[in-house]
Structure formats: structure tokens, C-alpha cells
């Protein structure tokens, strides 16, 4: 998992996601670098648009918004429950995540 985080960090910092950079980030954390895993990750990310994969990932925003709305409202109305993501949203998110891992 640390290799994926390293790739995401490099992407966020607009650095090239290559074997040397991923290995450097992992090594900087104090973890032992497995060169085979680094190569596999970089190869699997070669054809992936990381920005699109991040946008397609499911985000739990509705759960955090419910308590804030309740505290601000002050009404005795029934509490609205967050709707679970639809099958199409889940499918799209899983496609984005699976593209990260080949």
C-alpha cells in the first residue's frame, strides 16, 4: 500500500511517477523497498490517468455532511439518511480503482 501512496504523493506534487521516485519516497519513510513491487506498480500505472482514477473513487462526503446539517438546523424534522451510492456509481468507482492495479 505504501507504493500506491508514494505514487499518489508524486502525482500530487506533479513529479514523474517512475521507479526511482517511488523507491525514493518509500525509502524516505523508513520502509524497506521491494524493487519487484515498485516495478509492478509503475508498469500498471503506465496507461492510467491518475487524476481520472481519483475522481472516479467513491468519497464519503454525505456521512460528514449529515451531522453538520443537524447541528445547524435545530428543527425537530425527521433526520434524512444519506443515500447509498447507486450501482452505476459503484461500478464506475470500481473501474477506476481496478485500472490502478491492472
The domains of the chain, with CATH numbers, are 2-100 (1.10.10.1410)
pLDDT of residue 65 exceeding 80, the answer is no
Non-local (6+) Cβ contacts of 87 within 8 A are: none
The pTM of this model reads 0.55
Confidence of residue 84 (pLDDT cuts 50, 70, 90): low
Tell me the CA distances in angstroms from 71 to 46, 62, 84, one per residue in order. 46, 15, 22
Task: Answer yes or no: are the C-beta atoms of 85 and 58 closer than 8 Å.
Answer: yes
Distance CA 18, CA 3 (A): 11
pLDDT of residue 98 exceeding 90, the answer is no
Amino acid at each position: 500500500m505504501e507504493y500506491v501512496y508514494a505514487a499518489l504523493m508524486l502525482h500530487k506534487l506533479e513529479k514523474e511517477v517512475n521507479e526511482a521516485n517511488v523507491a525514493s519516497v518509500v525509502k524516505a519513510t523508513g520502509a524497506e523497498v521491494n524493487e519487484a513491487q515498485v516495478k509492478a506498480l509503475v508498469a500498471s500505472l503506465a496507461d492510467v490517468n491518475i487524476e481520472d482514477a481519483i475522481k472516479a473513487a467513491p468519497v464519503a462526503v454525505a456521512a460528514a455532511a449529515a451531522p453538520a446539517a443537524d447541528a445547524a438546523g435545530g428543527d425537530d424534522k425527521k433526520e434524512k439518511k444519506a443515500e447509498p451510492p447507486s450501482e452505476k456509481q459503484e461500478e464506475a468507482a470500481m473501474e477506476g480503482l481496478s485500472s490502478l492495479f491492472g
